[in-house]
Amino acid sequence: MEEYIIPRRKRIPYGMMNFAVIRRDDCYYVDKTQFIPMIEEADKFFFFIRPCRFGKSLTVNMLQHYYDILAKNKFDALFGDLYIGKHPTP
Domain count for the chain, please give it. 1
The overall average pLDDT reported for the chain is 90
| Amino acid 15: pLDDT | 87
| Amino acid 1: pLDDT | 62
pLDDT in tens, 10-53: 889 888 999 999 999 999 999 999 999 999 998 888 888 888 87
For residue 30, give its domain range.
Answer: 21-86
Q: Per the domain annotation, does 8 fall within a domain?
A: no
Give the C-alpha separation, 67 to 19, whole Å: 13
Task: Tell me the residue type at 77.
Answer: A
Long-range contacts of the stretch 79-84 (C-beta < 8 A, 24+): 79/33, 82/31, 82/33, 83/31, 83/33, 83/34, 84/33, 84/34, 84/36
| Amino acid 87: pLDDT | 95
pTM (predicted TM-score): 0.82
